[in-house]
Chains A and B, each alone.
Chain A
Amino acid sequence: DAGITQSPRYKITETGRQVTLMCHQTWSHSYMFWYRQDLGHGLRLIYYSAAADITDKGEVPDGYVVSRSKTENFPLTLESATRSQTSVYFCASSWGPTDTQYFGPGTRLTVL
Chain B
Amino acid sequence: GQQLNQSPQSMFIQEGEDVSMNCTSSSIFNTWLWYKQDPGEGPVLLIALYKAGELTSNGRLTAQFGITRKDSFLNISASIPSDVGIYFCAGHNAGNMLTFGGGTRLMVKP
Q: Which residues of A approach B to under 8 Å, CB–CB? A: 33, 35, 40-45, 48, 58-59, 90, 92, 97-98, 100-106
Contacts and interface: CB of A to CB of B under 8 A. Distances in A.
Contacts of A45: 97-98
Given A45-B98, A58-B97, A102-B45, 4 more contacts: A33-B98, A42-B100, A92-B42, A104-B42
Interface of B: 1, 4, 6, 9, 30-31, 33, 40-45, 48, 88, 92, 97-98, 100-103
A100 B48 contact: yes
Contacts, number: 47
B65 to A, nearest CB: 14
Contacts of B42: 90, 92, 103-106
- Determine the main DSSP class of B at the interface with A: loop
A92 B98 CA distance: 11
B100 A44 contact: yes
Given A42-B6, A45-B97, A100-B48, A105 B102 contact: no
A105 B40 contact: yes
Nearest to A94: B98
A59 B96 CA distance: 11
A48 B98 CA distance: 11
